[in-house]
């Protein structure tokens, strides 16, 4: 157990005070308003939307307009933008602010997915430092009084680290905080996050908060990260998959309380059912679509619990809320929390891999005209970081 028992100081991101220094990491296909609302019901923090490309927002595509929607209960509306172009980034931020649709804008420069980095986007983009700076400056200028933050990775690989220079550029551009997923694009989600890199970043960036991300599977992990790195707050992603109550654990821990959720199987089933209900609402009452979306969450919710493979498989094919209710009725609701079996890593870690990059990308830190069109194509894709 961590020795950090005193309540954590309140985190401020620009003018926004957070009662606990906890941020939900944007995850593609996961952190829609349904999941954010569910997590909020269990705990406190800043709950960020899944990533939205600035081009799609400028073009007002139906999907992007759905993704920026917030429920009235979401009092701090946080949207993550992905952009590869200063003009488009600025236009997207101007739209969000002008229409009163956001209270906070986060920028994604951490996506390690090959189809994005191959075009020079995501975690590859900060290598072109001047271009990175122009994108951030344009967004901050267009956002006005709305705080802008940046989320990034350490760099492309161990030989091409970018996070310190990029963070200093972002700080100089006027962002309100920087968050570091302490892995490189080459690491993907494998191995162990390098919390020492977060400490180095905290020593380097002194005028704005530094947030740490990577390998937070429990509240104890979050406290250890703060102790080890000195970071001002934490960003949690895969650790909350199928465990929205983690935000209650985190809130308690940062308030100096010793409390841990140990839900019974019945309580887990209730959370899954609530999640499905919120997804149906998110999809404007389309029950079939909401139930299709909940399928990918089934394995995460029941990790470690005594739920047979046949029942899990049926739940992963659920077609309606009534169908889901019938299957949840088969659970042993009194089955206790299984302890260690329900803890630890969630989601696929993958293996280290050589990042896919545009041709001759690493030869210069400046963006050539030949590369500019290729980078522009990166915004056609959408993923997390």
* 240 tagged catalytic: no
Q: Is 27 annotated as a binding residue?
A: yes
Is residue 381 over pLDDT 90? Answer: no
User: What does the pLDDT average to over 112-139?
Assistant: 94
Q: Is 160 annotated as a binding residue?
A: no
User: What does the pLDDT average to over 327-338?
Assistant: 98
Question: What does the pLDDT read at residue 3?
Answer: 46
Question: Under 8 Å CB-to-CB from 159, ≥6 apart: which residues?
Answer: none
Least confident among 49-63, 290-304, 367-381: 367-381
Q: Is 238 annotated as a binding residue?
A: yes
Is residue 350 over pLDDT 80? Answer: no
Structurally, at CATH architecture level, domain 265-335 sits in Up-down Bundle (1.20)
User: What does the pLDDT average to over 373-385?
Assistant: 60
| Same fold flag, 17-260+357-379 and 265-335 | no
Q: What is the CATH number of domain 17-260+357-379?
A: 3.20.20.70
Q: Is 26 annotated as a binding residue?
A: yes
Is residue 24 over pLDDT 90? Answer: yes
Torsion-angle region of residue 95: left (phi > 0), alpha (psi -120 to 50) or beta?
alpha
Q: What are the residue boundaries of the structural domains of the chain, listed by start?
A: 17-260+357-379, 265-335
Per-residue pLDDT tens over the stretch 64-85: 999 999 999 998 999 999 999 9
Q: Of 39, 111, 240, 291, which is the active-site residue?
A: 111
pTM of the predicted structure, to 2 decimals: 0.93
Q: Is 181 annotated as a binding residue?
A: yes
Question: What does the pLDDT read at residue 377?
Answer: 66
| Helix 195-204 and helix 219-229, axial crossing angle in degrees, nearest 10 | 50
Q: What confidence category does residue 2 fall into, taking pLDDT thresholds of 50, 70 and 90?
A: very low
Is residue 122 over pLDDT 80? Answer: yes
Per-residue pLDDT tens over the stretch 260-272: 999 999 999 999 9
- CA-nearest of 116, 49, 112 to 81 is 49
Is residue 368 over pLDDT 50? Answer: yes
Q: Is 28 annotated as a binding residue?
A: yes
Is residue 385 over pLDDT 50? Answer: no
Share of the chain above pLDDT 70, in %: 95
Separation of alpha carbons 256 and 244, rounded Å: 20
Is residue 222 over pLDDT 90? Answer: yes
Is residue 116 over pLDDT 50? Answer: yes
């Amino acid at each position: 157990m961590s020795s950090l028992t005193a309540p954590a100081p309140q985190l401020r991101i620009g003018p926004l005070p957070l009662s606990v220094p906890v941020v939900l990491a944007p995850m593609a296909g996961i952190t829609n308003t349904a999941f954010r609302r569910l997590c909020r019901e269990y705990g406190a923090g800043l709950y960020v939307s899944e990533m939205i490309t600035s081009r799609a927002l400028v073009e007002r595509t139906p999907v992007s307009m759905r993704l920026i929607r917030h429920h009235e209960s979401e009092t701090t509306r946080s949207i993550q933008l992905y952009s590869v172009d200063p003009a488009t980034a600025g236009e997207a931020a101007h739209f969000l602010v002008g229409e009163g649709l956001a209270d906070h804008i986060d920028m994604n420069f951490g996506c390690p997915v090959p189809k994005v980095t191959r075009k020079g986007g995501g975690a590859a983009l900060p290598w072109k430092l001047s271009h990175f700076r122009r994108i951030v400056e344009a967004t901050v200028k267009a956002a006005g009084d709305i705080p802008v933050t940046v989320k990034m990775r350490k760099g492309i690989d161990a030989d091409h680290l970018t996070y310190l220079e990029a963070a200093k550029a972002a700080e100089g551009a006027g962002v309100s905080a920087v968050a570091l997923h302490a892995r490189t694009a080459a690491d993907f989600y494998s191995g162990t996050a390098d919390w020492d890199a977060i400490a180095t970043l905290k020593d380097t960036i002194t005028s704005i908060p530094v947030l740490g991300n990577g390998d937070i599977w429990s509240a104890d992990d979050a406290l250890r990260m703060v102790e080890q790195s000195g970071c001002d707050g934490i960003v949690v992603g895969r650790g909350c998959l199928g465990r929205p109550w983690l935000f209650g654990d985190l809130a308690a821990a940062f308030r100096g309380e010793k409390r841990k959720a140990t839900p019974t199987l019945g309580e887990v089933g209730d959370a899954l059912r609530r999640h499905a209900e919120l997804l149906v609402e998110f999809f404007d009452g389309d029950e079939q679509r909401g139930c299709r979306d909940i399928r990918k969450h089934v394995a995460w919710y029941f990790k470690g619990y005594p739920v047979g493979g046949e029942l899990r498989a049926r739940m992963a094919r659920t077609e309606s809320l009534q169908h889901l209710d019938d299957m949840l009725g088969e659970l042993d609701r009194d089955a206790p929390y299984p302890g260690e079996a329900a803890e630890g890593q969630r989601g696929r870690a993958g293996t280290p891999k050589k990042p896919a990059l545009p041709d001759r990308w690493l030869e210069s830190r400046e963006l050539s005209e030949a590369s500019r069109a290729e980078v522009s194509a990166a915004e056609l894709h959408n993923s997390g970081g």
